[in-house]
Amino acid sequence: MAAAGRADSSRDRPSPAEITALIPLVRRIVASRVPDRATADDLVQETLTRVLAASGRVEPGMLEPYAIVTARNVVASLWRDQDRQRRNQHRVVDLRPPEAPDEDVLVQEDRQAVAEALTRLTDRERATLLAHEVSGQDTRSLAAELGSTAGAVAAQLNRTRARLRVEYLLAVERTEPPTDRCRPVLLAISGGDRRRQREVDAARHLLECDLCARLSEPLMGRGRAREADVRVPVQSDADVVAARSAAREVASGVGFPPTDLTAIATAVSEVTRNIVKFADAGEVVIEVLEEPRRGIRIVARDVGPGIPDVDRALRDGYSTYDGLGLGLPGARRLMDEFAIVSEVGRGTTVTMTKWVGER
């Protein structure tokens, strides 16, 4: 992005060949959003026209990104126009971006990203959000209008904002998420909804999906109730030691007696070793629990081949590597609760809990 300095109007216009080269790209973007072939063709044409018109002001290297944004905007305006016709909607402020890009590409892109993100909300979400944020209408009167309660409206606003953040980031990145799991995961993270994050197994997805791992960073800081979790990435032998030391330290803060600290550290050692032995990458997350009692929860997850027969792996003496392989059953004996979920080809998640004063 930093390369996108101010456009230099004295620069040579790109050759028609360069514009033509953009066609497959633009077509792909438009086609993925507009099913109707004829309309799509129209929009590709419109996009290229706009790019051509603006090309003199766009840095040479920026032509392709510029085309991507423009294509999205063109599609967005189509959706908006359809919206208007359908609903005769008058409450929404005009979000249409200016006809042509301004000279400041960066600012423009940002605004476009926001605008783009807004278009991806549902009508109702957008209407409520704008009424609240732009017109300053309070949740109570909104609730009255919508036949709902103020609390429900506030919750919905929060969800909408969470979505807006996600769509904004996607628009800025000029990308569509690679899998259909991405959006639910990003939404759960953006909303800071831990339960939902568990439901969609957000942590595992972040291990698997580079895009979401990257996008989730700016989202993490928001709305998270607690940032107390300790997260240890695991790839090598040394990480096993790091993970168990971290677990011991956290457990010590929770108030476990010394024998339990050693038990917890040892259990972490066992499950973390499996990540190093069998998987490409993984992590150990250590979480302090307050409810229903004080305790510690350790989640070890990996992106790996998975365990075909979990029951067998939990029996003493089973191992696919050298030795007795008491790792999992041993760890289970050291902890109060132990659960393992494994999917062949995707990976394994071990969740184990110990409560203060259980044994």
Per CB under 8 A, residues contacting other proteins are 236-238, 240-241, 244-245, 248, 257-259, 261-263, 265-266, 269-270, 273, 276, 316, 323-327, 329-330, 333-334, 359
Residue whose CB is less far from other proteins, 190 or 269: 269
Residue whose CB is less far from other proteins, 169 or 313: 313
Name the minimum Å distance from CB 328 to other proteins. 10
Residue whose CB is less far from other proteins, 177 or 282: 282
Name the minimum Å distance from CB 319 to other proteins. 10
Name the minimum Å distance from CB 230 to other proteins. 17
Alpha helices in the chain (DSSP H): 16-21, 23-33, 37-54, 63-87, 105-119, 123-133, 139-146, 150-173, 182-190, 194-199, 202-208, 210-220, 237-254, 258-278, 310-313, 327-334
Name the minimum Å distance from CB 287 to other proteins. 20
Per DSSP, the residues of 12-74 read PPPPHHHHHHTHHHHHHHHHHH---HHHHHHHHHHHHHHHHHHGGGS-GGGHHHHHHHHHHHH
Q: Which residue has the tokens 């050693």?
A: 262
Phi, psi of 341 (to 5 degrees): -125, 125
Name the minimum Å distance from CB 274 to other proteins. 11
What is the distance of C-alpha 124 from the center of its chain?
Answer: 23
Per DSSP, the residues of 72-88 read HHHHHHHHHHHHHHHH-
CA atoms of 102 and 99, how far apart (whole Å):
9
Name the minimum Å distance from CB 288 to other proteins. 18
Residue whose CB is less far from other proteins, 165 or 332: 332
Name the minimum Å distance from CB 241 to other proteins. 5
Residue whose CB is less far from other proteins, 228 or 241: 241
Phi, psi of 355 (to 5 degrees): -105, 145
CA atoms of 68 and 25, how far apart (whole Å):
8
CA atoms of 352 and 286, how far apart (whole Å):
10
Name the minimum Å distance from CB 295 to other proteins. 16
Residue whose CB is less far from other proteins, 100 or 324: 324
Would you state the structure tokens that stand for residue 275, as one six-digit string? 């990540």
Residue whose CB is less far from other proteins, 28 or 315: 315
Residue whose CB is less far from other proteins, 189 or 261: 261
